[in-house]
Amino acid sequence: DYYTAISELERLLDVEAFIVEKFDEYLERAQQEQKNLKRFLDHIEEQQNDRGDLEDYFGNPLNAFITIRRLVHDWKFNVFDPVFNSSNFETYKSTLGDSLEKINIKAPTQEDLNGATRALLRLQNVYQLNTDHLASGVLLPGEKNPLNISLSASDCFELGKNLCQIKEYSYGSEWLLEARKKLHGNPLGFISPNVSDVEILEHLSPAFNGLGNLKLAHKLNNEILDKKPDHEEAHRNKLLYEGQLAKERSFTPRKQVDLPHVAGKKEPKESYKLYTQVCRGELHQTPREQRNLRCWLTHQGVPYYRLAPFKIEQLNLDPYVAYVHEVLWDSEIDMIMEHGKGNMKRSMVGQSGNSTTTEIRTSQNTWLWYDANPWLAKIKQRLEDVTGLSTESAEPLQLVNYGIGGQYEPHFDFMEDDGQKVFGWKGNRLATALFYLNDVALGGATAFPFLRLAVPPVKGSLLIWYNLHSSTHKDFRTKHAGCPVLQGSKWICNEWFHVGAQEFRRPCGLVSDEGKFLHLENK
Ligand SMILES: O=C(O)CCC(=O)C(=O)O
Ligand SMILES: [Fe+2]
Q: What is the DSSP string of 148-216?
A: -----HHHHHHHHHHHHHTT-HHHHHHHHHHHHHHHHH-S---SSPP--HHHHHHHHHHHHHHTT-HHH
Lowest mean pLDDT among 15-19, 95-99, 203-207, 312-316: 95-99
- Of 379, 403, 372, give the one whose Cα is nearest residue 491: 403
pLDDT for the residue numbered 419: 84
Question: Which of 11-20, 116-125, 303-312, 433-442 is modeled with the greatest confidence?
Answer: 433-442
How far is ligand 2, taken at its centre, from the CA of residue 488, in Å?
A: 20
Ligand 2 centroid–CA 311 distance in Å is 23
Report the residue among 463, 492, 496, 497 best suited for mutation to probe ligand 1: largest number of ligand atoms under 8 A from its CB: 492
253 preceded by a cis bond (ω within 30 of 0): yes
pLDDT score at 261: 47
Mean pLDDT lowest among 93-107, 223-237, 325-339, 453-467: 93-107
Q: Do residues 429 and 419 make contact, with C-beta atoms less than 8 angstroms apart?
A: yes
Residue whose Cα lies nearest atom 10 of ligand 1: it is 413
The count of other CB atoms within 10 Å of the CB of residue 142 is: 6
| pLDDT recorded at residue 498 | 96
100-109 long-range contacts, CB within 8 A, separation 24+: 100/19, 100/22, 103/15, 103/18, 103/19, 105/11, 105/12, 105/15, 108/2, 108/12
Better pLDDT: 105 or 385 = 385
Q: What is residue 77's three-state secondary structure? A: helix
Per-residue pLDDT, 260: 47
The pocket of ion ligand 2, defined by CB under 5 A, consists of 413
Average pLDDT, the chain: 87
SS3 for 408? strand
Mean pLDDT (whole number) for 223-227: 95
CA–centroid distance, residue 376 to ligand 2 (Å) = 22
CB 261 within 8 A of CB 124: no
Give the up-direction half-sphere exposure of residue 457: CA atoms within 13 A in the CB hemisphere: 28
CA of 363 to the centre of ligand 1 (A): 10
Per-residue model confidence (pLDDT) at position 297: 95
The pLDDT of residue 439: 94
Q: Which CATH superfamily is domain 295-520 in?
A: q2cbj1_9rhob like domain (2.60.120.620)
Per-residue pLDDT at 193: 58
CA–CA separation, 241 and 227 (whole Å): 18
More confident residue, 256 or 328: 328
**Where do the structural domains in the chain lie, given as residue ranges?**
6-103, 110-250, 295-520
Give the pLDDT band (50/70/90) at residue 87. low
Nearest CA to ligand 1 atom 5: 482
pLDDT at 252: 62
Distance CA 462, CA 383 (A): 9
Q: Do β-strands 462-466 and 295-298 pair in parallel, antiparallel, or remain unpaired? A: unpaired
What's the pLDDT score for residue 253? 59
Ligand nearest to the CA of 365: 1
pLDDT, residue 262, reads 45
User: What is the pLDDT confidence band of residue 324, given thresholds at 50, 70 and 90?
Assistant: very high
Given the CA of residue 457, which atom of ligand 1 is nearest to it?
Answer: 3
Ligand nearest to the backbone CA of 400: 1
CA–CA dist 323, 314 (Å, integer): 6
Report the distance separating Cα 247 and Cα 256, nearest Å.
15
Ligand nearest to the CA of 348: 1
CATH architecture label of 110-250:
Alpha Horseshoe (1.25)
Q: Which residues line ligand 1 (CB under 6 A)?
A: 400, 408, 413, 446, 480, 482, 492, 494
| Span 106-141, pLDDT tens digits | 777 888 888 888 888 999 999 998 898 888 878 777
For residue 408, how far is its CA from the centre of ligand 1 (angstroms)? 6
Q: How far apart are CA 114 and CA 362, in angstroms?
A: 13
Residue nearest to atom 7 of ligand 1 (CA): 481
Nearest CA to ligand 1 atom 9: 494
- Nearest ligand 1 atom to the CA of 365 is 9
Instruction: Give 411 Cα–ligand 1 centroid separation in angstroms.
Output: 9
Mean pLDDT of all residues in 51-57? 73
Residue 186: band (very low, low, confident or very high) from pLDDT cuts 50, 70, 90: low
Beta strand 310-316 with 295-298 is: antiparallel
* Rounded Cα distance, 82 and 100, in Å: 23
pLDDT value of position 60: 67
Pocket test for ligand 1, best of 278, 364, 434, 459 (most atoms within 8 A of CB): 434
Q: In angstroms, what is the span from residue 446 Cα to ligand 2's centroid?
A: 9
β-pairing, 485-487 vs 480-482, is: unpaired
Tell me the average pLDDT across 335-349.
Answer: 91
| 3-class SS of residue 447 | strand
Is residue 147's pLDDT more than 70?
no
Mean pLDDT value across residues 157-176: 94
With a cut of 50, say whether residue 327 has pLDDT above it. Answer: yes
- What distance in Å separates the CA atoms of residue 344 and residue 423, rounded to the nearest whole number? 23
* 437, 453, 464, 494: residue to mutate for ligand 1 pocket, most atoms within 8 A of CB: 494
If one compares 389 and 113, the residue with the highest pLDDT of the two is: 389
* CA distance readout (Å), 43 to 51, 54, 56, 80, 222: 12, 18, 20, 16, 61
pTM: 0.81
**Global ipTM:** 0.99
CA distances in angstroms from 494 to 395, 460, 469, listed in the order given: 9, 13, 20
**pLDDT of 204 strictly over 90:** yes
What separation in Å is there between the alpha carbon of 519 and the centre of ligand 2? 20
Mean pLDDT of 132-154: 75
